[in-house]
Structure 1
Amino acid sequence: MILKDCQRAALEHIRQHSAARREVAQETIAHLLEMSNIAQEDFPQALSSIQSHARVALHFHPDRLSQNLTSVADLLLTDGLYKNQFETFLSNGALSPDKGGYRDLWENGMFGEVYMTAHVTPSDRPKYGALNLMLLPDGPSPRFGSCYFLLKPHVLPRCTFSSTGSQLNPPEKGTLDTLDGVLAALLTESFYREFALGVHNIRTRQLIDHLRDNLTKPFQDPSTQAAARNLDYFIEVQVHGPIWLADDVEILVADPSFKRTKTGMLLEKICEGYDIELFWHCGFVLNVEEVPLDFRGPKMPSLARRVASGTFLDVEMIGEAAADLKRHPERWRDRGPYEYVLQELKRLWHVLVKFGKPNNTQK
């Protein structure tokens, strides 16, 4: 992959940032290994496994509509290319695709102002994902979408990494060859809290063993596994350069609520057309009477009742509501301005992930 000057500069900026902090990070790692009675040579084996076999996950909602009312799934099928929010004006996180906006400013700050030059185009900006280290069936960061692509490991050398969302500007950043700070933060979490990226009761020894042994195994069918519901803890990945479905994507994991729907058929066509393996995870369904008042705000129960088709809520219904909001914002004015209602629907998805039961009913 031939990267543009700004993309190479972004990678080098993060590499230098990490290299300046490398000695302290390595001291932290060595201390945690000693305190955990782990041989020093075990860590390089785990690191090598990550560098050679880890996959980046790109979460997305396939039924969200673009500015011209074309769905994400339609765009993926037609273009064969995964785009960033500066191109699509869509985001499942903070939407700010304008020059001088929030994301523009934090990206330029993070990557050393490399996107400030006039010749940089929207497509030159990074695409955001999460590192799929714990192999959770609903993905490493489901808050950003009900479906996710898993990229082939050959993409890793053109990625940068941060220990959490880059909008928080965490100091632990790195490239594939300078991951010390990011991994020191991960090991610290496992040592002091017995927790790692959404997985509880995992100590440092278990984490090292998992990273060394399990990333090389064949992908396991996620439909047979319980969802991890990890909304908040992830290693963010910024992918530099284009992401072509035919060349860079290996697996698609989709929500079963899309089976036998127009969106589901588009997802199947994407996988057939671009030689991507398709899996379905267990999904989420929630009785609207079980939507709490104290998670993502007191307006969630009333929104769930409005969005749901009958008694139960799933992500396809949330997508239908988002599409209706896009086409007919006047119908939703009783709940607030367009941007506010859109944010409410994002929060309702978080509620569904947190409290939903496996979606065993097939359409």
Structure 2
Amino acid sequence: MDFRGGRTPQERALRHVAALSRGAAVDPALRITLNFHPDRLVGGLPILEVLARDGAYVSQFVTGTSNGGLTAHPGGDRWRWESRIFGAAYDAEPAHERPVYGGLNFRRQLVGAAPRFGSSHFRLTGAALRRATFCYPDSAAEPSAFGVAAGMSLIELAEADEQDALDDYIEAQVHGPVDLARDTEALVLDASYRGTAVEAAARRLPCPVEWHPGYRLPVEELRRHPDFRGPEFVALGARIAEDGLLDPRIIGDAARSGRHELQDLKRVWHCLARFGAPQGAGTAAGGHTPGVSTPSA
């Protein structure tokens, strides 16, 4: 996308961030991933059914849902952060014009760049890099370091920083529509969804389906970490566990049951993501773990 003319809000946003960016070009072999929970509901419908129907991945300004904070409305925190980062490019624009959020998978993690936001992810094509902006840390922290594919120093900044593994990501904002048929290389699912309705729905999407080994956390291990998100979330995780184990499918079933607060289950997911990650995930117990290529279907 040529954003020098600044005719569209996307072009204006990219031009604004490019002016704030310094450093070397991003390795074109790196990929942006969009982490999410593939078994959640959007407007009462399974999210993968909505994605199959619409053929596009859209922002929380459109869906009204998020695996992070729910502040995507005029005057809300997300609106204010975007206004600052993108030079007010989207302030007067409709919701569908706004960017979608993911992470730059510079560590080449098989679970995606930002598993804090979900066990599964869409891996975007290399072309998406050219219409993305980046920041470190997360935009919620009101960062001052930004980048575009043509030049940035965020990878060096992130590698030199000491963050909890769930916060160890470079945020990406992809400007312009994310068409699942055109812009995604694959949907990478957690192994807990094999043979489930999630897999069946995923097969109806216009992109390949791949798998990573999956998150699994024994309750015995969960109970060793009451200080991570709080003892009440350890207790909730233990209650919903099956045969002494937690995995993403189990948390998703609990989320759809209507018997638990979604924000509470989000914290249970954080415990699973932090302490039950597969080898090759940056959230594996030791913190940073060397990346492994994503296995094919």
Normalised by the length of structure 1, the TM-score is 0.70
Q: Does 1:113 align with 2:48?
A: no
Match of 2:59 among 84, 98, 109: 84
Match of 2:15 among 4, 8, 12: 12
Preserved contact between residue 158 and residue 169 of structure 2 (Cα < 8 Å): no
Q: Does 1:345 align with 2:257?
A: no
Preserved contact between residue 51 and residue 156 of structure 1 (Cα < 8 Å): no
Q: In the alignment, residue 251 of structure 1 is paired with which amino acid?
A: A
Instruction: State the Cα deviation string for residues 319-343 of structure 1 (Å, max 9, x = none).
Output: 1111122xxxxx44xxxxxxxx222
Taking the aligned partners of 1:86 and 1:342, their CA distance within structure 2 comes to: 19
More strand by share: 2
Cα offset, 1:84, TM superposition: 0.6
Taking the aligned partners of 1:323 and 1:2, their CA distance within structure 2 comes to: 43
Instruction: State the Cα deviation string for residues 29-53 of structure 1 (Å, max 9, x = none).
Output: xxxxxxxxxxxxxxx6xx4xx3422
Cα offset, 1:255, TM superposition: 0.4
Cα offset, 1:289, TM superposition: 3.3
Instruction: State the Cα deviation string for residues 250-309 of structure 1 (Å, max 9, x = none).
Output: 122110111111111111222xxx1x3322111112222332311111112221123223
Instruction: State the Cα deviation string for residues 159-206 of structure 1 (Å, max 9, x = none).
Output: 101122111122110222231x3244246x1xxx7x8x98xxxxxxxx
Q: Does 1:94 align with 2:69?
A: yes
Q: Residue 220 of structure 1 corresponds to which residue in structure 2?
A: none
Q: Does 1:284 align with 2:215?
A: yes
Aligned residues, how many? Answer: 274
Instruction: State the Cα deviation string for residues 211-259 of structure 1 (Å, max 9, x = none).
Output: xxxxxxxxxxxxxxxxxxx411111110000000110001221101111
Q: Residue 150 of structure 1 corresponds to which residue in structure 2?
A: 123
Which aligned runs of 4 or more in structure 1 are off by greater than 4 angstroms?
1-4
Taking the aligned partners of 2:108 and 2:20, their CA distance within structure 1 comes to: 28
Match of 1:243 among 175, 178, 186: 178
Q: In the alignment, residue 155 of structure 1 is paired with which amino acid?
A: A
Q: Residue 154 of structure 2 corresponds to which residue in structure 1?
A: 182
State the superposition RMSD in angstroms. 2.2
Q: Residue 232 of structure 1 corresponds to which residue in structure 2?
A: 167
Q: Which moved more, 1:160-169 or 1:2-11?
A: 2-11
Normalised by the length of structure 2, the TM-score is 0.85
Q: Tell me the SS of whatever aligns to 1:93.
A: coil
Q: In the alignment, residue 283 of structure 1 is paired with which amino acid?
A: G
Shift in alpha-carbon separation, 1:248–1:91, aligned structure 2, 3 A:
same
Cα offset, 1:358, TM superposition: 4.9
% identical aligned pairs = 39
Shift in alpha-carbon separation, 1:308–1:168, aligned structure 2, 3 A:
same
Q: In the alignment, residue 352 of structure 1 is paired with which amino acid?
A: L
Preserved contact between residue 92 and residue 144 of structure 1 (Cα < 8 Å): yes
Taking the aligned partners of 2:278 and 2:88, their CA distance within structure 1 comes to: 44
Preserved contact between residue 65 and residue 71 of structure 1 (Cα < 8 Å): yes
Match of 1:252 among 169, 187, 211: 187
Aligned pairs for 1:158-177 (under 5 A) are 158-177=131-150
Taking the aligned partners of 1:350 and 1:235, their CA distance within structure 2 comes to: 18
Unmatched 5+ residue regions in structure 1? 27-43, 199-229, 326-330, 333-340
- From the CA coordinates, give the structure whose radius of gyration is larger: 1
Q: Residue 138 of structure 1 corresponds to which residue in structure 2?
A: 111
Preserved contact between residue 155 and residue 248 of structure 1 (Cα < 8 Å): yes
Preserved contact between residue 30 and residue 106 of structure 2 (Cα < 8 Å): yes
More helix by share: 1
Q: Residue 300 of structure 1 corresponds to which residue in structure 2?
A: 233
Taking the aligned partners of 1:138 and 1:357, their CA distance within structure 2 comes to: 9
Instruction: State the Cα deviation string for residues 77-96 of structure 1 (Å, max 9, x = none).
Output: 11110011011111111121
Q: Does 1:129 align with 2:132?
A: no
Taking the aligned partners of 2:238 and 2:262, their CA distance within structure 1 comes to: 16
